Structure 1
Amino acid sequence: MPHFTSYDGTQLAYRVLDDSRDGKPPLVCLAGGPARDAAYLGDLGGLSAFRPLVVPDARGTGGSPPADDLGAYAFPRQADDVEALRAHLGLDRFALLAHDAATATAQAYAATYRDRLTHLVLLNPGSRLQGELPDDARQIFESRAAEADWWEDAYVAVQLLAHATDLDEIRGLLLRAAPLAYGRWDPPQQEHAAAEGEQLNPVPRAAFWQGVTEETRLALLGRLRAARVPVLVVTGDLDGVTGLRTGEAVAASFPHARLRPLHGVGHYPWVDEPEMLRPLVEDFLTDTLEL
C-alpha cells in the first residue's frame, strides 16, 4: 500500500483503484463514519472503471497510524491531510468525493483550498456543519415499519445504541440496526453491513469534532459561500441515517450546487443502486463546466 507524508511528517496510507485504462484524472474519495475503515467504500459501485479512485485511510484507520494529538482527528485538520495527498499526487487541481461524515472534511477542504478543486461530490451528507439537525431520517425509518420483518428488531437496536458503551455490544447492535441504512435488505446489503463492526475506530470517531468551535464552524460556512466549485449533493429517499433534508442544507451552503435525491436508495447508494449512482457521478465529472 502506498503512503504519503502529511503536514506533520506522518505517513498516511492510500489505495489506488483503477480499471479505467483511459488516462482520465483521478477522483479522490474520502470515507465517512466518522473514522470507518475506507474498505467499506469498495470501488463505489464500479466507478473505478470510469476513472482512477484514490482512497486515503484517515488517521487511525486502515493502514494509517493513530495520531499522537487528538486534534489531528478533527475534520478541519483532516482537510490538511487531503491537501498533503494532493501535493503528493502532483495534482494542481482535482475532483473530490466524500461520503457521510467525511463530507464535513470535504467541505472544510473546499472552504480552505477552494482553488484546488474542479468538482466536489457529497454523498449522503450530514448537516452538523450547517448547524442543522433535521429529524426526517427518523421519520423515514419509522415509515418503513410495515415493510419487512427486520424493522422491529432494528428499532429496538437503535434505542439500545443510545446507551451502549461496550464496543462488542455496539458492534452487535449496529448489525441489528443496519437495515435502516439501506434501501432494501438483500444479500449485497447484508454482506456490506456485516463488515461494519470491524471497521470502527472509536478514538478517531470521538475526536472528529475535537476543538471545532462555533467560530470555526461559522468561518468555514462563510468561506463556502465564496467557493465557485461545482458541487453534486446526492441523498437517498430511504436513508434512515442522515435523511434527505440534510442534503438540502448542505447544497444551500454553496453558490453552485445541484441536489439529486435518489429513489429507493438508503445511506449507501453504491450498494443499493450502483447503476443509478455511477452514471450520475460520471456525467457530473465529465459534463460540468468549471466555474
Structure 2
Amino acid sequence: MTQSTTQTSSEENPEVPLSPGLYIVATPIGNLGDITMRSVDVLSRCDGVACEDTRVTGKLLKHLGIGKPLWRYNDHSEERDRARLVQTMLDRAVVLVSDAGTPLISDPGYRLVQDAREAGVPVTSLPGPCAAVVGLTLSGLPNDKFLFAGFLPSKEQARVRALEEVASVDATLVFYETGPRLAKSLQAIGTTLPGRTVSVARELTKMFEECRTDTPNSLIRHYTESPPKGEIVLMIGPPARHVASEVEVDTLLREALQSDKASQAAGKVAKATGLDRKTLYARAMALRSE
C-alpha cells in the first residue's frame, strides 16, 4: 500500500495536538540556532521522539525547553523495535531525528519510513540542516550536479573500489568522513582520481568552521600538521570536461597496453578521461586483437 505524504491540518493550529503519524525533523549540525520554528513546534506537540542517542537528543530538547519521551532507534535497532514504533504511529505523533542534520541521510531510517507508508501511516518531512549541502555550498566546487555517496569504506581496497566506481560520474562527489581516516582517504583520491580538486569541510556552523579546497597532497600536508577531529564533508570536483576524441583515446589505450592488461589499461584511461571503464575495456580488447 502506498501512502501519500501530506501536511496534516493540526500542524496549522498550534492549539491542538499533532495528528498521528511520522514526522521527520532535521536538527542542528552544530549551531543550535539553526533549528527551524516549525521543527520546534512539532517537537513541542508530538507524543514522543525516536532518536539515535537519547543523551544527544535530550540535550537539544532541554535547550529548547521541551520534555518528551525518548525512544532509541538507530543502526542497532531490531525489526521488532521498528514494528513497535510503526504501531505507535497509528494513534500517536512520533518524531524521528538523528543526532545531527537531516534523518535518513547516510543512516538506516528509510526502513522506518518504508514500513510506516506500508502500514498507511502519514509521513511528513520537515526541511532543515544537512552537512552535505552546507559543505557543498562552501566548497566552491561545481554544484549544478552532485552525487552524495555516504561514508567511504574504512578498508583500503574497498575504499579504492568505491572511488573507482564513481570515477566517471560527471558531477561533484560528496562523502562523509571522520578525522582519523581523512589522510588515508585523501591519499586514495590522489592515486585513484588524479588531477581532481578536493574540498574538506569541517566544524560546520560552529565557531571554528573550516573549508579548504586544494589538491589531495596539499590537504594531506595541512592535516598531517593539524590533525582534524569530528565528522567531515569530503568533496571531489568532477573530472575535466575535455572530451577526448576517439584518436586520443586509442592512443592512450595503446600506450597503456604496452605494459598493462586490457582491464588495467582501461582503468588508467578511465581515470585520465572520465570515460566509462567498461566501454574502454571493450575498445582495449579490440585494439589488442588487431
Indicate whether the TM-score tops 0.5. Answer: no
- TM-score normalized by structure 1? 0.28
Instruction: Name the larger-Rg structure.
Output: 2
